[in-house]
Every structure is written in C-alpha cells, then in structure tokens.
C-alpha cells in the first residue's frame, strides 16, 4: 500500500461491533458531527480500524465522532464527537 | 423491515459449510447452513471469527453473496495475500467444517425489492459481491425495477460469478457492463482503463432517471466513482457506498 492510498473504510464496517452492544442497527442512523454540524448516515463516516479499537471520523471535517474499544470483557463507547444520533424506530 | 423487529443483540453462532465453489483462482464461494439465521437483506454482511489453538482470535466482515430464500447463505471470499482470515477461508475450509459467524449486520448499504426507482450498481473487484446479492434479490422477487451493473475488473479471468451474471442478464430489466482495467477480452472496443465520466455517461443511469446507486469496492475506487457521480449531477443522498480495505472482504 502506498502512502497516498487512503487507509480508512466506512461506518458499514462497524456494524457487527455495534450490533453486539445495541439492539438496533446503528449504521443506518443519522448522526450530526459536533465539530462541523454535518449530518449523514453513520455508514458514511470514515472508519479507521487500524487504531486500537475503531475510530469514526467526520467525512467532511475529519473530527473524531465515535470511538469504540473492545476488551475481553467490556466495550468502551465514546460518542462525544456527535451532537446526536437519530435512530429510526419501527412504528408498529 | 421485518428483521429490525427482532430486538435483540447479536451473538456469535456456528454454521456448517455445505458447499464450496471456485469462482476465480483467488476467490471462492462458501455455502453455509446456519440453524438460527433470521434472514437478511441484499447488501448486508456478516462477521467471521477464527480462533487459533492458543486462543488468538481474528474476525473479518464479509458481504453476503446470496439473496435470502429461506435456507442457507453464501459468502464469496477473495484471498488477501498475507491476510489473517481469508487464506484459511479460501484454501483450508472444507465441506462439513464449522464456521463461527455473527450477522446479518448493516442497514444502510441494502436494497429492498419494494424500493422505488431504478437501481445502479457499481462494483470494483470483489466489491461485486453485495451487488450480486442485490441482483439475486431482484431476480427472486421478479422485480420490474430497471437494474444496471457496472463491474470494474482487471481482466476476464478475474470476473466472479461469470455464469450467474449471464443468467441474471437474461432478464429484460437487467443490464451488465464490464469495465476491464488491465486486459480486455478480444472484441472489446474500450481499451483497458478505469471507470471514467465518459463510461458513466454512456452506460449508467443519469441523474434524471433518479436511480439509487450502490458503489462497493476498495476505498480509492469508491472515492473516485462517488466523486464522478456527484460531479455528473447525481444527488449525493442517493449514492450509497461501501468501502473495503487491504485487510480483506469488506475489511
């Protein structure tokens, strides 16, 4: 891999780790970046999986939105880079 | 979506390999029987976890290649050189073996037959896998939505699903175009090169068709194609993307 090749994936890649913790899919949820206010599907965030844990950054301003770190007995979630996360709930 | 009505967290379960099929010299399809599989949407993926004798674990996410028809699921795995998981799946795993999986996951990069409008699929390399699931779901539902696949691939021998693609292309609603990047077959008029604006203009749905577009492939491929689409006037909100990296599968 060359230095100018992007190393990130996208929020889709966090689906399994998130569903281990949450009862609903988070990747289709809409989040707002606390840094620049950009709104978009969590799936469209840039996801770095080569850090310890996973880091999701804003596709527009590159600020850290979410960090997920799993240990053998716990999962640490840091959502402070999001103003909110809108999860659609079934109406029935 | 019925599946989200099942409000539970996801846990690992064990499936059994029922069939393996060579797709290319580096990719193969693995069919699994999973007793508690709740069904899935085209485009969803699952995580595979391998555990070494010393307890070391590695997991990777792979797109589901099959449409859900009530029994069994299929994955297609492209071998990543020096990968931790894919060499085992491509070279070692055999019929009858157990495989630990978790899924289905992902609710964004999915196509549902009831979705309105044309569907444009653009895949690079093994990025075709979730798009194949969408074409299979389209066929299984006898959908009348116009669907087009633009498949960027290095050379004819690298094409995954050669015969299945011929089958789905029989449908009047489905059109398939190959974009060869290194070596084109005899008779191909376009010289080997990557997808560009000109090709998108001639073979893909245009913004006025109001398609939903799904782009899947390595990160640089997805970035390039998504940028070309937006530059051509497509609404970014109707362009859905899934990137995978050098660590295998989608990740």
Cβ distance A43 to B61 less than 8 Å, yes or no, reads no
pLDDT category of residue B250 using cuts at 50, 70 and 90: very low
Here the tokens at position B212 are 């939903």
Architecture of domain B2-105: Beta Barrel (2.40)
**Whole-model pTM?**
0.92
Mean pLDDT of B173-190: 95
A5-34 tens-digit pLDDT: 678 999 999 999 899 888 889 999 999 999
- Cβ pair A12:B108 closer than 8 A: yes
Query: What does CATH list as the number for B119-244?
Result: 3.40.50.80
The distance of B47 to chain A (nearest Cα, Å) reads: 7
Residue A33, exposed/middle/buried by CB under 10 A (0-12, 13-18, 19+)?
A: buried
Radius of gyration, CA atoms only, chain A? 13
Task: Enter the ipTM.
Answer: 0.89
Separation of alpha carbons B62 and B225, rounded Å: 21
* Residue found by looking up tokens 């959502």 in the block: A79
On average, the pLDDT of chain B sits at: 93
pLDDT of residue A5: 67
Q: With an 8 Å Cβ cutoff, are A12 and B242 in contact?
A: yes
Contact flag B10-A42 (C-beta cutoff 8 Å): no
The CATH 3.40.50.80 domain(s) of chain B lie at: 119-244
| H or E element in which residue B44 lies | none
* CB atoms inside a 10 Å sphere around CB B69: 11
Alpha-carbon gap: B11 to the closest alpha carbon of chain A (Å) = 6
Domain(s) of CATH 2.40.30.10: residues in chain B? 2-105
Q: DSSP 3-state assignment of B69?
A: coil
Indicate which of B5, B106, B212 best probes the interface with A, i.e. most A CBs within 10 Å of its own CB: B106
Instruction: Tell me the pLDDT tens digit for each residue of B187-234.
Output: 999 999 999 999 999 999 999 999 999 999 999 999 999 999 999 999
The predicted model gives B109-120 an average pLDDT of 96
Q: Do A25 and B105 touch (CB under 8 A)?
A: yes
Q: Residue A4: its pLDDT value, please?
A: 61
Let me know: does B58 contact B85? Beta carbons within 8 Å.
Answer: yes
Q: Residue A92 above 70 pLDDT?
A: no
- Residues of chain B with pLDDT > 70, as a percent, come to 94
DSSP code string of B98-122:
EEEEEEEE-SSS-B-TT--S-EEEE
**Does residue B84 have a pLDDT over 80?**
yes
- Look at residues B96, B112, B139 and name the one whose alpha carbon lies nearest to residue B40: B112
Report the pLDDT value the prediction gives residue A71, as an integer from 0 to 100: 85
User: Residues in chain A whose beta carbon is closer than 8 A to a beta carbon of chain B?
Assistant: 1, 5-13, 15-16, 18-25, 27-28, 41-44, 49, 90, 92
User: Nearest by CB to A19, which of B9, B108, B219?
Assistant: B9
Reply yes or no: is the peptide bond before residue B104 cis, omega within 30 of 0: yes
Question: CA B246, CA B220: separation in Å to the nearest integer?
Answer: 11
CB contact under 8 A, B223 and A6: yes
For residues B124, A31, A76, A8, the Cα torsion angle rounded to the nearest 10 degrees is 30
Angle between helices B162-169 and B128-140 (to 10 degrees): 40
Mean pLDDT value of segment A58-62: 96
Q: How many angstroms separate the CA atoms of B1 and A46, rounded? A: 26
In this structure, are residues B152 and B221 in contact, taking their beta carbons and an 8 Å threshold? yes
Torsion of CA B159, B136, B120, B43, to 10 degrees: -90
Exposed/middle/buried for B156, CB within 10 Å: 0-12, 13-18, 19+? middle
Q: What is the pLDDT, as a whole number, of residue B249?
A: 39
Name the residue in chain A with its Cα closest to that of B104.
A16
Rounded to a whole number of angstroms, the CA Rg of chain B reads: 18
Q: What pLDDT shows up at residue B80? A: 86
Residue of B65 and A7 predicted with greater confidence: B65
- CB-CB under 8 Å, B46 with A12: no
* Residue pointed to by tokens 């609903």: A24
């Amino acid at each position: 891999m060359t230095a100018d090749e992007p190393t990130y994936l996208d929020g889709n890649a966090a689906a399994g780790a998130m569903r281990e913790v949450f009862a609903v899919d988070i990747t289709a949820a809409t989040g707002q970046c606390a840094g620049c206010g950009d709104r978009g599907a969590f799936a469209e965030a840039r996801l770095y999986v080569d850090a310890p844990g996973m880091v999701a950054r804003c596709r527009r301003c590159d600020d850290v939105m979410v960090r997920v770190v799993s240990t053998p007995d716990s999962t640490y979630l840091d959502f402070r880079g999001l103003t909110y996360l809108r999860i659609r709930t079934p109406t029935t | 979506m019925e599946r989200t009505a099942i409000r539970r967290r996801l846990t690992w379960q064990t499936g059994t390999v029922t069939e393996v099929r060579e797709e290319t010299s580096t990719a193969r399809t693995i069919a699994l029987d999973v007793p508690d599989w709740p069904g899935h949407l085209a485009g969803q993926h699952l995580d595979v976890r391998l555990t070494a004798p010393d307890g070391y674990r590695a997991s990777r996410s792979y797109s589901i290649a099959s449409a859900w028809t009530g029994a069994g699921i299929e994955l297609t795995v492209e071998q990543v050189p020096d990968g931790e998981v894919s060499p085992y799946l491509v070279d070692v795993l055999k019929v009858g073996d157990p495989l630990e999986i978790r899924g289905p996951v992902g609710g964004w990069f999915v196509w549902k037959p009831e979705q309105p409008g044309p569907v444009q699929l653009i895949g690079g390399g093994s990025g075709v896998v979730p798009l194949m699931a969408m074409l299979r779901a389209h066929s299984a539902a006898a959908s009348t939505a116009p669907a087009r696949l633009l498949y960027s691939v290095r050379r004819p021998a690298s094409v995954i699903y050669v015969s299945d693609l011929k089958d789905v292309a029989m449908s009047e609603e489905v059109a398939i175009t190959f974009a060869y990047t290194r070596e084109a077959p005899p008779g191909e008029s376009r010289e080997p090169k990557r997808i560009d604006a000109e090709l998108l203009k001639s073979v893909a749905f245009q913004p006025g068709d109001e398609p939903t577009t799904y782009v899947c492939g390595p990160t640089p491929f997805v970035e390039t194609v998504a940028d070309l689409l937006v530059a051509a006037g497509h609404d970014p909100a109707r362009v859905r993307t899934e990137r995978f990296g050098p660590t295998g599968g989608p990740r």
